[in-house]
Amino acid sequence: MSISPQEPRGEEVRSEAGAVRRMTMSRLVREGWEWIKSILIALVVVLIIRQFLFVPSMVEGHSMDPTLAHGEWLIVNKAIYLLSEPEPGEIAVIRDPEEGESEKYLVKRIVAGPGSKVEIRGGRLYIDGKRTDEKYTDVPIQDVDHGPYQLGSSQYFVMGDNRHLGASKDSRSFGPVDRERIAGRAQWIVWPLDKLGGL
């Protein structure tokens, strides 16, 4: 005696196909939602990094020659000055003191910090009466004498590394910079690749 398999009725076949479609759609919705969550988390992380930690910035102009050239890309560390104070010798990004509350920024070297006395005399920079050896420049300061300036408790004196006459807009023209205007430290050159590295 043989038993022939029972043929599935049409409504059973449709029911199984519908269940498969529902499972597939449910899986696609779950996977889509996972992708959306991942993208949103990545965007939030990028925004936090840009706002509080690191931000790319392009050098415009020649005021930092020969150290930085026009068109080079930097990574600016915004977090470092939340943890420590700016130090002389560091290259900082500052909000332009002549632009009020605008978001225009300048890249300059900090040459003196709070409480220091700064003077430019005979083409040389003097901090607290002592001549500073500036290995990052290629000429003496081609400018008239300035100062002496006595910096306040939260003031910094900044200059461009380009000391050719009229080549840099800096503390010689707009005076000492308040601490609150220093936005971050130029940490790395990332473009062009042949100059890739830390500052």
User: Which residues carry out catalysis?
Assistant: 63, 108
Label the pairing between strands 146-150 and 155-159: unpaired
**Which residue shows structure tokens 């050098």?**
59
Work out the widest C-alpha separation in the chain, in whole angstroms: 119
Is the bond leading into 5 cis (omega within 30 degrees of zero)?
Answer: no
- CA-nearest of 195, 197, 198 to 70 is 195
- Match 């081609």 to its residue by tokens: 142
Which residues, including other chains, have CB under 8 Å from residue 143's CB and lie 6 or more apart? 120, 123, 163, 165, 166, 172
Q: What share of the chain is helix, strand, coil (3-state, %, to 5)?
A: 30, 30, 40
Nearest of 159, 161, 140 to residue 64 by alpha carbon: 161
Q: Find the radius of gyration of the CA atoms of the chain.
A: 30
